[in-house]
Amino acid sequence: MLELYEIRKTFNLGTPTPTPALRGVSLKLSPGEFVTIIGSNGAGKSSLLNAIAGTFPVDSGKIIIDGTDVTDWPEYKRASLVGRVFQDPMMGTAASMSIEENMAMAVKRGQARGLARGIKGEMRSYFRELLAGLGLGLENRLTDKVRLLSGGQRQSLTLLMATLSKPKLLLLDEHTAALDPKTAQQVSQLTDKIVRENNLTVLMVTHNMEHALKTGTRTIMMHEGQVIFDVSGRKREQMKVADLLSEFARLRGERLADDKILLG
């Protein structure tokens, strides 16, 4: 579903302080795989997702989504294949527009937009049904401005929007990190539910190692712009956070405080 070949990206190239963010990342995801990504701060996790989504062009390498080479595609074009939820709950919705307007825009993700009515009658009952599934009472607030929602509500809505028209690939970048623990838990459960129901292929960055091992089907660890560890199947099932840490230490030949990764 996703193939990355030797992706490289350096920010501020040609200035006195170039920042390498991705240093040759290769990765292959089969359909239905749910990969969690961990790694310390600045390891390049967000850059990896941004590179896949097309936020910036990569310096070299090849990005193939669902069999199509999208390396030269601009971000808005890749949106037909990729759904995204950002860390900042404010970033995934248009605050001055209503819940139903936001959802209607998500229905058209990656499709041509014309002069048809943005919201058609039959959409509303569909939206109401989906929102009811969140259990947040949003099904009765279709015409409320998104500005009025809490962070957790907005993030749940964004998640719903990112998966409305089933994407080939779902990118989640620490999408629960800005929420309080209880809300974060709810949004995590919602994520699992939506991913399972739609059988989505997912890349999810998380700073919680335990969560990374418990959720999904595969875990990769990034460090200094590279994938240094990749585990799935039985080996992953038996793994504990402590094992991950010692694996990291062994691979890098350096001791690393537990919280350095946890906070990453």
Partner 1 sequence: MLTFPVVAGVIEQGLVYSLMALGVYITFRVLDFPDLSVDGSFPLGAAVSAKLIVDGYNPFVALVVALAAGLAAGAFTGFLNTRLRISSLLAGILTMTALYSVNLRIMGRANIPLLMEPTFLTLLEKAGIPSEYVALVSFFVLVVVVKLVLDWFLHTEVGFALRATGDNPIMIRSLGVNTDRMKVFGLAISNGLVAFSGGLVAQYQGFADVGMGIGTIVTGLASVIIGEVLFHPRRVVTQVLSVIIGSMVYRLAIFLALRLGFAPTDLKLVTTVLVIIALAAPTFSRWRKQAKLLPKSAAGA
Q: Does 91 bind partner 1 (CB under 8 A)?
A: yes
Half-sphere exposure of 44 (CA within 13 A, CB side): 25
- Sequence-distant (6+) residues with CB within 8 A of 83 are 109, 162, 163, 167, 169, 170, 171
119 binds, among partner 1, Mg ion, ligand ADP, none (CB under 5 to 8 A by kind): partner 1
Q: 199 is written with which tokens?
A: 């059988």
Distance from C-alpha of 192 to C-alpha of 199, rounded to nearest angstrom: 10
Distance from C-alpha of 219 to C-alpha of 223, rounded to nearest angstrom: 13
| CA-angle at 157, arms to 156 and 159, nearest 5° | 65
Q: Does 80 bind partner 1 (CB under 8 A)?
A: yes
Distance from C-alpha of 260 to C-alpha of 60, rounded to nearest angstrom: 30
Q: Judged by CB under 8 A, which of 101, 153, 202, 227 binds partner 1?
A: 101
Give the count of residues interacting with partner 1 (CB under 8 A).
35
Minimum distance of partner 1 from residue 132's CB (angstroms): 23
* Contact call for residues 84 and 48 (beta carbons, < 8 A): no
Minimum distance of Mg ion from residue 71's CB (angstroms): 22
Q: Judged by CB under 5 A, which of 46, 98, 155, 158 binds Mg ion?
A: 46
41 binds, among partner 1, Mg ion, ligand ADP, none (CB under 5 to 8 A by kind): ligand ADP
Stretch that binds Mg ion, among 45-53, 58-66, 120-128, 222-230 (CB under 5 A): 45-53
Q: Does 75 bind partner 1 (CB under 8 A)?
A: yes
Q: Does 100 bind partner 1 (CB under 8 A)?
A: no
Minimum distance of ligand ADP from residue 150's CB (angstroms): 25
Distance from C-alpha of 257 to C-alpha of 31, rounded to nearest angstrom: 35
Stretch that binds partner 1, among 15-23, 73-81, 196-204, 251-259 (CB under 8 A): 73-81
Write the Ramachandran bin of 41: left for phi over 0, alpha for psi from -120 to 50, otherwise beta: beta
117 binds, among Mg ion, ligand ADP, partner 1, none (CB under 5 to 8 A by kind): partner 1
